[in-house]
C-alpha cells in the first residue's frame, strides 16, 4: 500500500513530466488522476491547488538540480569540465523529449501564480550564481575567456542553453542542441 509521501511523490513525478512536455497550462488534475488511477479529490488532498503543486514542483526540481551541481563540483575542479557537465544536464533532459521545467515555466510566466514566479526566478538566480563562480574561477586560472562580468556571461549561457533546448525540441533534433551548446561553450574557451 502506497504511503502518503509515496503518493505525493508519484503525483509530482507525473506533474513534472507533464510540465516538461506540455507546459503548466497544458495539463489538469484530471490528467494526473488518470495517469495514476486516482481521483482528483485525492490530488487536492496532497496539493490543494494547482499553484501549490507547481510551487512544490519547482522546489523539488531546484533541490535535484542543486544536487547535480554539487556532484559536478565533487567530480571536477576544472572549470571547463564543470561547464561541459552543466550543459550535459540540459542535453540529458532533452533526450527524454522534455524541456527544463523552469524553462517551460518561463515561457508561461505571465499566467503563473506569483509564488511560482518567485521560485522560478530563484532557480535561475541559483544557476547563474553557480555558473558565474565557475566562469570567474576559469578566468582567474586563464582557462576560460569572456568579456564583461561572470554574471553577464552566466546569464548568456543559461539563456542560450534554454533557447537551444526549445529550438532543438521543436525540430525533434537533440543534435541541434548539442551543436548550439558546443558553440556556446567554445565561445567561453571550453
pLDDT score at 184: 97
Of 86, 24, 85, which Cα lies nearest the Cα of 49?
A: 24
pLDDT in tens, 36-89: 999 999 999 999 999 999 999 999 999 999 999 999 999 999 999 999 999 999
Q: Which helix (H) or strand (E) holds 30?
A: helix 29-36
Mean pLDDT for back-to-back runs of 10 residues, the chain (190 residues): 77 97 96 95 95 98 97 96 97 93 96 98 97 97 96 97 96 95 96
Half-sphere exposure of 70 (CA within 13 A, CB side): 6
pLDDT score at 4: 64
Q: What is the DSSP string of 33-60?
A: HHHHT--HHHHHHH-SSHHHHHHHHHHH
Contacts of 91 (CB under 8 A, 6+ apart): 174, 177, 178, 181
CA–CA dist 80, 184 (Å, integer): 12
Of 132, 53, 64, which Cα lies nearest the Cα of 93?
A: 64
Q: Which three cell numbers stand for residue 1?
A: 500500500
- In the chain, what are the domains? 50-187 (1.10.357.10)
Phi-psi region of 189 (alpha: psi -120 to 50; beta: other; left: phi over 0): left
Amino acid at each position: 500500500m502506497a504511503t502518503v509521501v509515496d503518493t505525493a511523490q508519484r503525483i509530482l513525478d507525473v506533474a513534472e513530466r507533464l510540465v516538461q512536455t506540455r507546459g503548466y497550462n497544458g495539463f489538469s488534475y484530471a490528467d494526473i488522476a488518470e495517469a495514476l488511477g486516482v481521483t482528483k479529490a485525492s490530488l487536492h488532498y496532497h496539493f490543494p491547488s494547482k499553484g501549490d503543486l507547481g510551487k512544490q514542483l519547482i522546489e523539488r526540481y531546484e533541490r535535484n538540480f542543486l544536487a547535480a551541481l554539487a556532484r559536478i563540483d565533487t567530480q571536477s575542479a576544472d572549470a571547463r569540465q564543470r561547464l561541459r557537465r552543466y550543459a550535459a544536464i540540459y542535453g540529458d533532459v532533452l533526450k527524454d523529449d522534455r524541456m527544463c521545467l523552469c524553462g517551460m515555466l518561463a515561457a508561461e510566466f505571465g499566467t503563473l501564480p506569483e509564488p511560482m514566479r518567485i521560485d522560478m526566478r530563484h532557480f535561475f538566480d541559483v544557476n547563474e550564481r553557480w555558473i558565474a563562480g565557475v566562469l570567474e574561477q576559469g578566468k582567474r586560472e586563464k582557462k576560460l575567456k569572456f568579456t564583461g562580468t561572470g554574471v553577464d556571461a552566466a546569464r548568456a549561457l543559461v539563456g542560450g542553453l534554454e533557447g537551444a533546448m526549445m529550438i532543438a525540441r521543436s525540430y525533434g533534433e537533440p543534435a541541434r542542441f548539442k551543436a548550439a551548446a558546443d558553440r556556446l561553450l567554445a565561445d567561453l574557451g571550453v
